Each structure stands twice: as structure tokens, then as C-alpha cells.
Amino acid sequence: MTPAPPSTSADAPALDAAALRADFPLLDERVNDQPLVYLDSAATSQKPRAVIDAEVDFLSRTNAAVHRGAHTLAAEATDAFEDARETVAGFVGAAPEQLVWTSGATAGINLVAYALGNAAIGRGAPASAPYALRAGDEIVITESEHHANLIPWQELAARMGAVLRHIPVHEDGTLDMAAAADLIGERTRVVSFPHVSNVLGIVNPVDELIARAKDAGALTVMDACQSAPHLPLDLPALGVDLAVFSGHKMLGPYAIGGLYGRAEVLEALPPFLTGGSMITTVTLDEADYLPPPQKFEAGTQPVSQAVALAEAVRYLEGVGMPAVHAHETRLEAHMREGLRQIPGIRLLGDAEGVDRVALCAFDVDGVHAHDAGQFLDARGIAVRVGHHCAQPLHRRFGMTASVRASAALYNTADDVDVFLDAVSGIRSFFGVAS
């Protein structure tokens, strides 16, 4: 049974987006001599001054190699690094040992795919044996995947002789859960899916997907890139085995992300990257590995980025994730209803009665997405145009590209109004309005 969506009613705490904007230096900039309206947070979010200062402060006052030195600075840097792990892990409901630092969600999914491949050739046995794929085993994904949650599974299937299958989406963008029930079965070994589609903005029924995967004995992997910045998130409570998210989409810096894993899964999986800092004993012939999460953190880690991401988490927690979700839900409803009223606009995934994040992708009849994006950019409005790293999903809807507007906690209703007013003028500007 799918749980009720987070509250967006009057009992949700209020959020003053206009006041929050003062914390984000870049939002004061002008673009093409126009006030910036930033509606591209699904691609990358803006950073509050506190996050920028946290990274600069670490590099200025504490910079040293972590887990490697006995001097004072090394100890302070290590403490800051591990404190950041505890803070970020807590944000998604996890224990520190359940959070592996990565360079982002793409790296996290590749880590999992390659670890499963290593299990298939006997690395980490006997603990890793339950996760070893064999020829003919099946990996199930969805038609709405970002390429980062598609191509690693294509490659793993090709290496292992496994079969890659996908859950289709309905015309309204919702997952075909009847098809999912047929697809997930005794040969299924992995079920990987997005919590929220980066094109459709729909919160998927992940509890049902996880339950079906568990019944089949399959490993579950969730892409939480578009949910972690926008929804209250408790990964252990969801019951997912593994999940990834990216720092730069949740007010943090680039080149940092997290891989959450249930303790028993992380303990059983063999490592992917190997080298320094993830070992206990090394001889010229073999090595013994540290327990998770260090087992998966070979080499130099993104230390200053982790410290800054922890500050981003503290910022989000200070605002309150229920308040963030309630505010963004109102923005999404305003944006979607406004786009529906503009002639020649086709919304992707325009389903009714589903929980969403503040993201709308659409086609402008008679105008290429890139031309529409340039029209908006000339008016200081930043949106994403293209296939958004989701070519199969766009193909499903008969197009190669779309315009995507995505809001965050720092956006206001005025931002949406400026955007809608501009979109209403696109077709007439290009001479295609009827």
C-alpha cells in the first residue's frame, strides 16, 4: 500500500522563500541585463553562503589528509570528515557506517554495478555469493531512468550475460505497476528505480517496488537525486537496500555524493575501487579490507566537499524538510496549472493525484526546445533544455527534447509568474501561434 504523501496543508510549517534568497549570493546576479529567475535546480542547485564559507574555512584552517596522519591538523581534518558523514547520514535516516562517500550518484551506481560484477567472479565469497549474477539472471529498471541508472546496468548485463528489462510508463507518466508485477519474478536479481523522475517530477510508488523485489529476493537500488533535496527522506524506513544521491543538487558542492546501504549488504559486497586507505593488511600477494564504509573509499576522499555538504544538510534541516516540500508543492501546482492554460504547451507526465516535486517538463508546439530555452534565457530565466539524460523516456513520448523548469526552496511565486508570462510569449515570438 502506498503511504499518503507528505502534508502540504495549512498545518505544514511556513517557509519564507523571499527571506531565504538573501542567503544565496548568486540569486542577486543579473543575466542578460535581467534579474535572474533560476529554475534549473534539478540540474544543480544554488549554494547558500554558509556552504561556501564552510568549504573555504576548512581549506583555510584545517586542510590535511584524513585517516593518514598523527599530527594535529590531520586529526582535526579526520574529525571534520567523519562528523560530516554522521550529519549527512542522519539526514537520510542512516547510521554513519551506512554512508559511503562517492563523487556523486553516477559514481555510486557504478560502484554497485561493478561490485555485483566482482561478486559474480567470486570476489568477496562466500559473503558476496548471494549477490553474484549469472547468465540469464534479470535486472529490472524503469523506462523513466536517468542514463546514470541505465547505462551501468546495460554494461553489467553485457558482462554477465544477464537480461535487462524495464517497467514501462503510462501516457500520464506513472509507472505501469501491473507490468512491474509481471516483470519482477524468480529470475530478477536487481530492481533499480528513481524515487522521483528527473523529467516527470512524479514521486514513484517505491514502497510497492521494494515489496515486490523483496518477495522475489532481489536487491533494490534507488536513485534519490531528485528526492533528497525536496522530501523528508528515511532510507532505512523505506526498506531499500542501496540508494544514491548527489550533493550539488541539494545545496552542496560538486564532486560529492553518497551511497547508502543496509549494513549487511555493504558488508557482503566486494569493493570496486582498491588502493590506499581501504585496507588492513597488505602483502605482495593479497590484501584484507576494512569494513564499510571505508572498504569502498579507496584513495583521496572529497574532504572539503563532505564538510560543505554537511553544512548544506544543516541548512536544509534548519528550514525543515516538511516546510521545503510544502512550499515546493505549492510552486509546482502554480507552475503546472499555469502551463496548462498556455496554448500549444504539452506537459510530460501530467498525471493527477500523485505526489510531486517542483519540476515541470514540457514541449512547445512548433518551437524546438533549444530555441524556447534561448528565448527564456534572454529574459533572465534559467531552465534546462534537451533530453535531460533521459533519451528513452523522451522517445516514449515521441520527442527528442523538452524544456524543464525546476524550482527549489529559494524560489517564489513571483519567479513562477515571470516564467509563465515569458512562456506564454514563446510561440508568438517564433511566429507559430494560431
On the 0-12 / 13-18 / 19+ scale of CB atoms within 10 A, 82 is middle
Supply the pLDDT for residue 99. 98
Q: What is the pLDDT of residue 159?
A: 96
Spell out, as residue ranges, where the chain has pLDDT lower than 70: 1-12, 434
CATH T-level topology, domain 17-48+320-425: Aspartate Aminotransferase, domain 1 (3.90.1150)
State how far the Cα of 304 lies from the Cα of 325, in Å rounded to an integer.
Answer: 28
CB 249 within 8 A of CB 231: no
CA distance 219 to 242: 8
Res 5: pLDDT = 41
The CA-atom distances, in angstroms, between 349 and each of 200, 358, 368 are 5, 13, 19
Identify the pLDDT of residue 7. Answer: 43
Q: What is the pLDDT of residue 14?
A: 82
| Catalytic residue flag (residue 389) | yes
- Residue 434 has a pLDDT of 66
Q: What kind of architecture, by CATH, is found in domain 52-317?
A: 3-Layer(aba) Sandwich (3.40)
Question: Phi/psi at 177 (nearest 5 deg)?
Answer: -75, -20
Report the sign of the C-alpha dihedral through residues 316, 321, 325, 331, in that order: negative
Reduced to 3 states (helix: H, G, I; strand: E, B; else coil), residue 313 is helix
Write down the catalytic residue from 389, 399, 413, 433.
Answer: 389
Please enumerate in sequence order all residues whose Cβ is within 8 A of that of 227, keeping only pairs 6 or more positions apart, or say none. Answer: 195, 196, 203, 233, 245, 357
Cα–Cα distance measured from residue 357 to residue 363, given in angstroms and rounded to the nearest whole number? 19
Taking the C-alpha atoms of residue 246 and residue 102, their distance in angstroms, rounded to an integer, is: 9
For residue 9, the model assigns a pLDDT of 42
Query: Exposed (0-12), middle (13-18) or buried (19+): which is 254, by Cβ within 10 Å?
Result: middle
- Which residues neighbour 257 within 8 Å (Cβ) at sequence distance 6 or greater? 101, 102, 103, 104, 105, 107, 108, 244, 245, 246, 247
| C-alpha closest to that of 412 among 324, 312, 327, 322 | 327
Domain with CATH 3.90.1150.10 in the chain: 17-48+320-425
Alpha-carbon gap, residue 272 to 329, rounded angstroms: 39
CA distance 84 to 344: 47
Q: For the chain, where do the domains classified as CATH 3.40.640.10 start and end?
A: 52-317
The residue to which cell 526552496 is assigned: 409
Alpha helices in 242-345 (DSSP H): 263-268, 303-319, 321-340
